[in-house]
Amino acid sequence: MKKSLSSKILQLSAICGFLFCVSNCLDSHRDRIHMDTGVSVKTLGPHKYQFIAIGKASVPSVEEQDLFKMKKTSCEAAKLQVTQRLDELEADQKHRQFFLEQKEQKYFGDGEYCELTYIYELPQAKKQKDQP
């Protein structure tokens, strides 16, 4: 017995509807990642460091699933960790923040975590010319 065109269309529609429902259910389930936050320091020379910091987004931004706020607050947290660590390493230097150069920025978990890489190098002191 041959199937009619309308029954084939009905079967195809049912299969497509089932696949659509399954794909929506799978998309709504997201695995949460967990990363350790903090900052690691690599000494590159006297008064020269590389900082790699991972910051976590604020709790309200994560609860609201606000991607913009998560990215902003996670990077702010990472930068704060870098500046605090730099304050410990170069306590005697004034204006040390001016010598921090951001090299890389990565997001993980839809912005819930931010990894920042900074390089700090204190410039060489300018030599003064001899006065006559």
Task: State how far the Cα of 81 lies from the Cα of 63, in Å rounded to an integer.
Answer: 23
What's the chain's average pLDDT? 82
Decide if pLDDT at 24 tops 60: no
Question: How sure is the predictor about 30, in pLDDT bands with cuts at 50, 70 and 90?
Answer: low
pLDDT at 18: 62
Question: How sure is the predictor about 106, in pLDDT bands with cuts at 50, 70 and 90?
Answer: very high
Return all residues near 96 (Cβ < 8 A) that are at least 6 apart.
86, 87, 90, 120, 122
Phi, psi at residue 78, to the nearest 5°?
A: -65, -45
Decide if pLDDT at 10 tops 50: yes
| Mean pLDDT score, 106-124 | 92
Question: How sure is the predictor about 88, in pLDDT bands with cuts at 50, 70 and 90?
Answer: very high
pTM of the model: 0.68
Provide the residue ranges of all domains of the chain, joining segments of one domain with +.
38-121
Query: Which 3 state secondary structure label does DSSP give 41?
Result: strand
